[in-house]
Amino acid sequence: MIFENEQVGLEEVGAMKVFSSKEIAESPVSIGFECLDREMFDAERCYEPLGVTGVKWARCQTGWNRCETQKGVYDFQWLDSVVDNLLQRGITPWFNVGYGNKLYMPDASHEAAVGYVPLYYGEETLQAWKNYVGALARHFKGRVGYFEIWNEPNGDNFWQPRTPDPLEYAKLIRLTAEVIHQEIPDAKIGGCVSGTHYGYLLQLFRSEIVGELNFFCLHAYCVQPELNYTQAVAHLRRILNASGGSHVELWQGESGFASWFPEHHWLPPYVLESEHNQAVWMLRRYFTDFALGMKRSSFFQVADMMGKDYCMANVTKKNPARHGILNGITYTPKQSFYAIQRLAAFFQGGMAAAELYCTADLNGFFPRTERHSRLIDIAVQTNTYQREGHPFFEYHLAEDMQYGFQGLAPVTITVENNPDQKNIEKPILLDMLTGKIHRILTWDAGDKYGVSIFRNLPLTDYPLVICDETALPWIPQAK
């Protein structure tokens, strides 16, 4: 609809090409393959479709309860199937190591013992945890190299039977990492939190645990991916650095937005069902994460969890929100499936954040004599990237997707190339939601100062990208 406006200076010339995960050599795009410790979806129906997304990483929960159903006997067959099927399709699994085991925690409220911490059940249980972690690392040595310890330890539902304690979490990381390193000396160790709980994080990092960490994950669930996020990530980076953790990579390890929400969900969705909104949210999540220097970003998750009730600590949800990129009944792709294909294609091959100049001007849309809120100008987000010397300029309106924003035009985008960047000579606009490629017809080429002005462009609530035709060799050349 937005491109039919006669004021928009675009000509459709093609579509983005997508690739399988095997065809992409390197990319930071990850997907959630969680909750199989509770058998919440059918993994066998996910491997083939996931393999054609181009996704290169998958976060997998290891499920102590499912691996040790008899004391001292470990059965990793189910997890072998997950790891091997992912690897065969060009997707690297990374482990979230966590949760309890009812064999050692009889008070756990459900069989999976989600959130029950082995620190609080005596020496036998703690030793059983160490034995399990050692067996896990030994079994998957050579296939899995990244181990995130526990899940969202700052949340009541994932730290039972006591209240969350950052010093106790540091203790769990330290003793678990020690066991993993005994089996895999070069294993990469990570931690995580839900949200931006900085009082918790300050205490955690002051415990000197950063010496054990190679990466640290935020779980950034929210309605608008950009809201307060730049400040949150910058502050996390500062407190990590101040604690001796400048070497620790920041990841966005788990975050998503559902295509359907139940009533009274903890997020405030008022549009309860929309594949479109989920896809828009996903695009903005990845573009924002990578612009802020996240080394990996993971979307929750591969398929809707519709097979069983969802349990965590003392909470049971009989009809949880549907976060999957695959429908949980038919296992057919949603709009977010196609969005993540384009994300994987775009961010492959060393695409990285870059400090480039990019601004948006809406004066062409609003007449000078007409009053309008200037907040919409402030809400336009711009992110910049580079690959092999080519600049990429992304922009979007950071409005709540649930407003059904259809777009504005004309908008003017002004950019400045750094001296070490290649010039844009044949500008195109990539529509990351539809995959369409448009030639930009109304623009002023870079002057001697490297400034280019692109006029009569649309503004949407999802990412549009300006670049040169030659910037991505896998994009069909405009004729």
Inform me whether the pLDDT recorded for 101 exceeds 80: yes
In a domain, residue 476? The reply is no
Domain boundary among 303, 330, 346: 346
- Tens of pLDDT along 184-213? 999 999 999 998 777 899 999 999 999 999
CATH number of the domain enclosing 273: 3.20.20.80
- The answer to whether residues 204 and 67 belong to one domain is yes
Predicted confidence at residue 74, as pLDDT, reads: 98
Q: Is the pLDDT of residue 149 over 50?
A: yes
**Within-domain flag for 177:** yes
pLDDT at 376: 80
> Both tokens of residue 89?
């399709």
Q: Considering just the CA atoms, what is the radius of gyration of the chain in Å?
A: 23
Cβ atoms of 455 and 442 closer than 8 Å: yes
Q: How far apart are the first and last CA of the chain?
A: 24
% of the chain beyond a pLDDT of 90: 80
The pair phi, psi for residue 28, each rounded to 5°, is -90, 5
CA distance 394 to 351: 13
Q: For residue 5, is pLDDT > 60?
A: no
Rounded distance between C-alpha atoms, residue 70 and residue 304, angstroms = 30
Do residue 220 and residue 360 come from a single domain? no
What is the share, in percent, of the chain residues with pLDDT greater than 70? 94
Q: Which of 296, 328, 346 is the last residue of a domain?
A: 346
Which range has the top average pLDDT, 263-272, 319-328, 449-458? 319-328
The reply to whether 337 and 260 lie within a common domain is yes
Q: Which of 10-14, 58-62, 400-404, 454-458 has the highest mean pLDDT?
A: 58-62
pLDDT-based confidence at residue 378 (cuts at 50, 70, 90):
confident
Residues 296 and 408 reside in one and the same domain: no
Answer whether residue 3 shows pLDDT above 80. no
The verdict on residue 136 lying in a domain is: yes
One domain, residues 375 and 339: no
pLDDT of residue 452: 92
Q: For residue 474, tell me if it sits in a domain.
A: no
- The reported pLDDT for the residue numbered 1 is 39
SS3 letters for 89-137?
CCCEEEEEECCCCCCCCCCCCCCCCCCECHHHCHHHHHHHHHHHHHHHH
| Count of domains forming the chain | 2
Report yes or no: 149 and 177 within 8 Å, Cβ to Cβ: yes
List, for residues 298-314, the tens digit of each pLDDT value. 999 999 998 777 766 67
- CA nearest neighbour of 191 among 183, 207, 139, 182: 207
Least confident of 95-99, 175-179, 367-371, 444-448: 367-371
Residue 409 backbone phi and psi in degrees, to 5:
-160, 150
Both 232 and 381 in one domain: the answer is no
HSE value, Cβ hemisphere, 13 Å, CA-based, for 278: 30
Report yes or no on 24 lying in a domain. Answer: no
**How many Cβ atoms are within 10 Å of 250's Cβ, its own excluded?**
20
* Higher pLDDT, residue 315 or 16: 16
Task: Say if CB 320 and CB 157 are below 8 A apart.
Answer: no
Asked whether residue 2 carries a pLDDT value surpassing 70, the answer given is no
CB atoms within 10 A of CB 427: 22
Q: Please indicate, yes or no, whether residues 429 and 376 belong to a single structural domain of this protein.
A: yes
pLDDT of residue 87: 98
The CB-based long-range contact list for 321-325 (8 Å cut-off, 24+ gap) reads 321/258, 321/260, 321/261, 321/262, 321/265, 322/258, 322/259, 322/260, 323/32, 323/256, 323/257, 323/258, 323/259, 324/41, 324/259, 325/31, 325/53, 325/299, 325/301
Q: According to the model, what pLDDT value does residue 450 have?
A: 76
Residue 92 CB contacts under 8 Å (≥ 6 apart), including other chains: 56, 57, 58, 86
pLDDT on residue 268: 86
> Beta partners for 70?
73
* Chain mean pLDDT for the chain: 92
What is the rounded CA–CA span in Å between residue 85 and residue 66? Answer: 19
CA distances from 160 to 7, 49, 115, 119, 155 (A): 59, 36, 6, 10, 9
Mean pLDDT highest for which of 6-20, 106-120, 401-415?
Answer: 106-120
479 occurs within a structural domain: no
DSSP H helices, 141-197, are 166-183
Nearest to 465 by CA among 402, 387, 404, 363: 387
Which whole number is the average pLDDT over 148-159? Answer: 95
Contact 478, 14 (CB under 8 A): yes
Does residue 93 contact residue 82 with C-beta atoms inside 8 Å?
yes
| Element containing residue 317 per DSSP (H, E) | strand 315-317
Q: Do 304 and 437 sit in the same domain of this protein?
A: no
d(CA 253, CA 296): 7
Q: What is the pLDDT of residue 364?
A: 66
Asked whether residue 420 falls in the same domain as residue 281, the answer is no
Q: In this structure, is residue 290 part of a structural domain?
A: yes
Query: In the listed set 328, 346, 364, which residue is the last one of a domain according to the structure?
Result: 346
Tell whether 311 and 372 lie within a shared domain: no
pLDDT of 448 reads: 63
The verdict on residue 473 lying in a domain is no
| pLDDT of 477 strictly over 50 | no
Contact 443, 453 (CB under 8 A): yes
Q: Tell me the residue range of the domain where 390 lies.
A: 2-16+351-468
| Residue 313 and residue 167 share a domain | yes
Q: How confident is the model at residue 222 (pLDDT cuts 50, 70, 90)?
A: very high
User: Do 441 and 340 lie in a common domain?
Assistant: no
pLDDT band of 127, cuts 50, 70, 90? very high
Average pLDDT over residues 14-36: 96
**Residues 312, 317, 323, 328: what is their CA dihedral angle, to the nearest 10 degrees?**
110
Whether pLDDT at 231 is above 60? yes
Mean pLDDT computed over 52-81: 97
pTM of the predicted model as reported, rounded to 2 decimal places: 0.95
* Banded pLDDT at 365 (limits 50, 70, 90): low
Q: What is the CATH number of the domain that holds 412?
A: 2.60.40.1180
